[in-house]
Amino acid sequence: MTGEFRSLPSVDRVLSDERIKSRESVYPHELLVSLVREQLDSERRRIASGKKPHTAEEIADGVLANMGSLEKPSLRRVINATGVILHTNLGRAPLSSEAIAAMETASRGYCNLEFSLESGKRGSRDVHAESLLCRLTGAEAALVVNNNAAAVLLGLTALAKRKEVIVSRGQAVEIGGGFRVPDVMRQSGAKLIEVGTTNCTYIADYEQAINDRTAALLRVHSSNFKVVGFTNEVGIEELAALGKKSNVPVFDDLGSGCFLDTAKFGLAVEPMVPQSIACGVTLAFFSGDKLLGGPQAGIIAGKKEYIDKLRRHPLMRAMRIDKVRLAGLSATLLHYLKGEAEKKVPVWRMIAAPVALIESRANQWAKAIVMQAEVVPGESMVGGGSLPGGTLPTRLVAIGKGEQTLVQRLSQQLRRQEVPLIGRIENDTFLLDPRSVLPEEDEIVLQALRAFSPD
């Protein structure tokens, strides 16, 4: 083995490879040396594990491959044909053309992020989305931060630290990724007071728990699960009325931030932000990148007195949103004000897509692949912590039924396309759902399917 170590080429020898030398005009010499040394270290580990060493040319190949990895962004566009519209692992809501254009404009050069064009003095970044949010929600004031978890944390820290917040035991939930409402509250310094039981909570439970240390009543929407059977929960109208009667603020964590009636599309009723504000809640918290269909953001809307306290809190600077996402969010909100969200916001375009159109597209997809495929009925999910258990009828392209090895090869090869195509596997069958793919992306799907080779 010692001889094999000695046979490794020197750094200079690998650098002398003509293919690597040709990259000297692209990369600094120090980076090339670093890449070569990393590859040689990898070879030493390979030899130590008992494997045969590579040749100098093969080592140079490895260096070139690593250069290619540097040049190819890790974060890439993919086509989501899983049928999960708000797929958290795939970036949640795709953005409208107008939102993307607004984000590009804000990215080029400078913008008036915190500059008043009217006075010529320093301004506030809050103004760019606040008026739109107030018009849409009916709230007195609004604030935008990094995400909804940050919004809730800011609200509790600023308004309930070292005090008590009353929440139904059935709403002390985990919101995904291991993040739990009790943990968020603990970080804020607020004390969680659970009332009721897992399946039944009544207004009297809240009322009996109110005392001099109560900072707020909190409703947390069960955005990613359902409790069925013998249940009772307190509606936001009743909770807001109790808050007003007891002079206790009411916080509503709505999660997905819905502004359209989901029942219209055959889905379960999702709490809508304007309804929450109309009921008289003190603060409503919701996401920008779920059913709202915008970029990642956490939005707080409600009473100006309380919003102003959040604005002044030191955490606000750590949680504030950047200019690019603020531009995209504002453009998305404008779609709702103009009454065009169903036609412009991709999430709602997908939800509203008629089954007949989906079936027509699925048939085109099925014809594009060289192996046998059939179009079958199926269900799409909204996903992303919205409408738990809610599905929409769809048509699926089913490929390679029962052929496990072939299905795995197909899934892998489609993921390796220039624009990866992501489907799902069920019962050893590869499934593609057109509902979560915009029609303008169909040509990419067809090219990927035509390129597949089962051999």
- Start-end ranges of CATH 3.40.640.10 in the chain? 96-344
How confident is the chain (455 residues) per 10-residue block, as mean pLDDT?
Answer: 76 90 89 91 87 86 88 89 94 96 95 94 93 97 94 94 90 61 76 85 91 94 63 87 96 91 89 95 96 96 97 94 97 97 97 97 94 93 74 95 89 93 94 97 95 79
- Start-end ranges of CATH 3.90.1150.180 in the chain? 79-88+347-451
Rounded Cα–Cα distance for residues 74 and 397 (Å): 29
Place of tokens 């709505």: 254
Cβ within 8 Å of residue 187, ≥6 positions away: 153, 157
The type of residue at 335 is: H
Q: What is the pTM of this model?
A: 0.89
* Whether 285 contacts 253, CB under 8 Å: yes
pLDDT of residue 270: 87
Strand-pair partners of 430: 399, 425
**21-53: b (≥16 Cβ within 10 Å) or e:** eebeeebeeeebeebbeebbeebeeebeeeeeb
pLDDT of residue 200: 86
Domain boundaries 96-344, CATH class: alpha beta
DSSP 3-state assignment of 192?
strand
CB neighbour class for 441 (10 Å; exposed up to 12, middle 13-18, buried from 19): middle
pLDDT of residue 175: 59
* Whether 154 contacts 316, CB under 8 Å: yes
Cβ within 8 Å of residue 246, ≥6 positions away: 207, 210, 214
Rounded Cα–Cα distance for residues 254 and 148 (Å): 9
DSSP 3-state assignment of 402?
coil
- Going through 256-405 in order, the beta strands assigned E by DSSP cover 283-287, 298-302, 373-383, 386-399
Rounded Cα–Cα distance for residues 318 and 277 (Å): 27
The CA-atom distances, in angstroms, between 55 and each of 17, 48, 158 are 12, 16, 63
pLDDT of residue 453: 77
pLDDT of residue 286: 95
pLDDT of residue 361: 98
Q: What is 79-88+347-451's CATH topology?
A: Aspartate Aminotransferase, domain 1 (3.90.1150)
Rounded Cα–Cα distance for residues 54 and 34 (Å): 19
Tokens of 180: 């739990």
pLDDT of residue 233: 82
Q: What is the DSSP string of 349-376?
A: HHHH--HHHHHHHHHHHHHHSSS-EEEE
pLDDT of residue 181: 66
